[in-house]
Amino acid sequence: MTRGPMPDGLSLIASRHCKRAFLDRAVPRDALAEVLRTAAHAPSSRNTELWQVTVVTGDSLTALVGALCEAYDRGDPPRPDCTSRPPSLDDAAERRAERAVTGVLLAKGHAAGDRAAGRAHLRDNLRFYGAPAALVCHLPKNAVSGTFLELGLFLQNVMLGLVAGGLGSCPQFSVAGYGDVLRAQLGIGPDRLVVCTMAVGYPDESAQVNRFVPGRAGLEEYVQWRG
């Protein structure tokens, strides 16, 4: 059976993938504000909307990148406020993760398994890949599993809204490992859990790394039909 063209909404979803190279072009504040305002239509328990976002640009972003890279270069270990995945994965998930990591390195012109390149790539994360804007996403310290789910719904709205506006993004857990640096630089209180960051900007579509799109699990791998 031949699939027809996807409706616009589904096409937008399918077009989203992580961007890791950005143009030297500022993102207008009103464009970001409109995306963040619209993203808040995500559902939350009793409409509590416990997510918060610190938007970082300009000199503040330059200072933050400098502090993050300084911490990384002196060997400070990451100490994330929360975890992003279970301690072990099933074989299929492990293979997908390995293919994604390898694919990014190859797209950046490095050999698979190149440890120095892997470290350089992680440092590039801390630079937000040169993006002109960064979002730091945080929750109350007493957040529970459902609160993280709600933040995820909000963030997916953000990423799709950015695509609709001609922008690209890359959500990042690795940067959240330096929560103390983020707090010190941005005035985020100790009563907040730093969950993730997001690099935001106009993607450089000439960059090979932005053409890498990891394969997705087949429908049969995660859907069970009953009835």
CATH 3.40.50.720 fits 17-82+127-209, yes or no: no
Q: In the predicted model, what is the mean pLDDT of the chain? A: 95
DSSP assignment of 94-117, as one string?
Answer: HHHHHHHHHHHHHHTT--TT-HHH
pLDDT at 3: 66
CA distance 203 to 224: 36
Determine the pLDDT at residue 118: 87
Confidence label for 19 from pLDDT (cuts 50, 70 and 90): very high
Q: In the prediction, which pLDDT does 2 show?
A: 57
Higher pLDDT, 54 or 5: 54
Query: pLDDT of 143-202, one tens digit each?
Result: 999 999 999 999 999 999 999 999 999 999 999 999 999 999 999 999 999 999 999 999
Could you tell me the pTM of the whole model?
Answer: 0.94
From the number of C-beta atoms within 10 Å of its C-beta (0-12, 13-18, 19+), residue 44 rates as middle
| Cα separation, 80 vs 62, whole angstroms | 22
pLDDT at 111: 86
> Closest by alpha carbon to 32, among 156, 155, 165, 185?
165
Q: Which long-range contacts (CB under 8 A, 24 or more apart) does 215-223 make?
A: 215/96, 215/99, 217/92, 217/96, 221/92
